[in-house]
Amino acid sequence: MFCNNPGHAPSRFERERILRFPMPVPGDPGEVLEDNFGEFMIRSLLSLVLLLVALLPATIAPGQTNSDQNAPFDARREGEAAGDQPDDPGPLAKGLSPALQRKAIRVAIKKVADWQLKQAEGHYNIQWTFAALYDGLLAASKTTGDRRYHDRILEVARENQWTLGPRFAHADDEAIGLTYLAFYAEDTQSKDRLVPTREGMDKVLARADDPKENLWWWCDALYMAPKVLAQLAIATGDQKYLTFMDHEWWLTSAALYEPNEHLYFRDNRFLTMHETNGQKIFWSRGNGWVLAGLAMVLQRLPESSPDRAKYVAQYREMAERIAGLQPADGLWRASLLDPESYPNPEISGTAFFTYAMAWGIHHGLLDRKKYLPIVTKSWTGMLTHVYESGRLGSIQPIGGEPGKYKPSSSWVYGVGAFLLAGSELAEIAEN
């Protein structure tokens, strides 16, 4: 729980929150994060007004055309597509082994991926929520050898004609570009897999900086867009994408990275806000987005790049700080510095941390002896939130701040993070 700063001016976050956050569900415990009911009502009314005017595209289903993307879309539909938190999710899974062995890891990956593949039918789209899922499913396909995950996402890409989302220069609508570029890498003769993303990002590169507001004004954006730019540099051989990425990354870092804490504020609202225990507010998933984003950028940034050392330094700083905040059960909470106010484990942040650290171990950026126990403990903990059906629970719903939710809460981006984590752990595990 946290308290706001009196006199805080509404930011772009409030103006856009309905595009990313569902309305609070009446009677859903924990949805009201502030103790101030009046402030909550004002925010809810603001969300309602924005909901009435917001336009967001739905996915292009077979038979639709690009013009259908201008159809009205409401945030509640986005939430319904991306996840849920039922009262009765069924029993937890039994028999999943926490052993850090490839066979055991693949069993867990397949159980969760199979459930999500079926659960998402009728909801597949190109929003940021699903883009993160696709990152995980493509990794899971390679790790397990199951082509179904790969092929279903390829269908989605074709149905949507390889297009980015409609909001110009909005990182959330660019995240799907990495999926398209992954398929382009498989078949570089199919230029339709490349051209829409390249043309869309070229327009972003031509945009002048706004001195009043950074392009990537919220930390989640550091997962959504930079990896696309880095992959575009590989796909095209044009370094202008890395130059632009580097420029924007460090503008955002200067605005939101707390150099003493080695953590990111989610956005500028939190620069002057504190948890009820007096600590600064550092959102678990927000920092998970960034740490995973750093790993994805470093995968694609040439070893010879003069800019690489800056990313490595920030990656190592954050990894060390986050590892030091790991609770005894291995699972980070929604608020990194006030876990007591949010007792439920937060699996999406935990999974992104696990993925990023496992990648660092695999590629020699993190000390195996120090960090392997960290990721082993977090993987063991995450397995206790897998249900017999394959549902992965305890994932915080769509939001931009620490929150509360039911143990059954499952959302596609958290599943994507879990699959990324498992796939990377399989690379460093014993045969």
* Paired residues of 101 in beta bridges: 430
pLDDT in tens, the chain (431 residues): 444 433 333 344 443 443 344 333 323 333 333 334 444 344 444 444 333 333 333 333 333 333 233 333 456 777 789 999 999 999 999 999 999 999 999 999 999 999 999 999 999 999 999 999 999 999 999 999 999 999 999 999 999 999 999 999 999 999 999 999 999 999 999 999 999 999 999 999 999 999 999 999 999 999 999 999 999 999 999 999 999 999 999 999 999 999 999 999 999 999 999 999 999 999 999 999 999 999 999 999 999 999 999 999 999 999 999 999 999 999 999 999 999 999 999 999 999 999 999 999 999 999 999 999 999 999 999 999 999 999 999 999 999 999 999 999 999 999 999 999 999 999 999 75
pLDDT of residue 75: 62
* Paired residues of 386 in beta bridges: 392
User: What pLDDT digit, counting tens, does each position of 82-125 carry?
Assistant: 999 999 999 999 999 999 999 999 999 999 999 999 999 999 99
**pTM, rounded to two decimals:** 0.86
* Paired residues of 3 in beta bridges: 274
Sign of the C-alpha dihedral, residues 140, 286, 126, 45? Answer: positive
Task: Report CA Rg, the chain.
Answer: 20
All domains of the chain, ordered by start, with CATH? Answer: 2-428 (1.50.10.10)
Tokens 């002057």 — which residue?
Answer: 272
Sign of the C-alpha dihedral, residues 45, 56, 244, 176? Answer: positive
Residue 58's contacts (CB-CB under 8 Å, 6 or more residues apart) are: 68, 69, 71, 73, 77, 125
99: number of CA atoms within 13 Å, CB side?
Answer: 10
Residue 158's contacts (CB-CB under 8 Å, 6 or more residues apart) are: none
Phi then psi for residue 246, to 5 deg, are -65, -45
Among 173, 220, 267, 338, which one carries the catalytic annotation? Answer: 220
* Backbone φ/ψ region at 90: left (φ over 0), alpha (ψ -120 to 50), beta: left
In the numeric block, which tokens belong to residue 372? 């392997």
Sign of the C-alpha dihedral, residues 311, 171, 350, 413? Answer: negative
Q: Which of 166, 167, 61, 119 is nearest to 414 (CA)?
A: 119
pLDDT of residue 142: 98
* Paired residues of 333 in beta bridges: 345
In angstroms, how far is the first alpha carbon of the chain from the final one?
44
Element (H, E) at 180: helix 177-186
Is 220 an active-site residue? Answer: yes
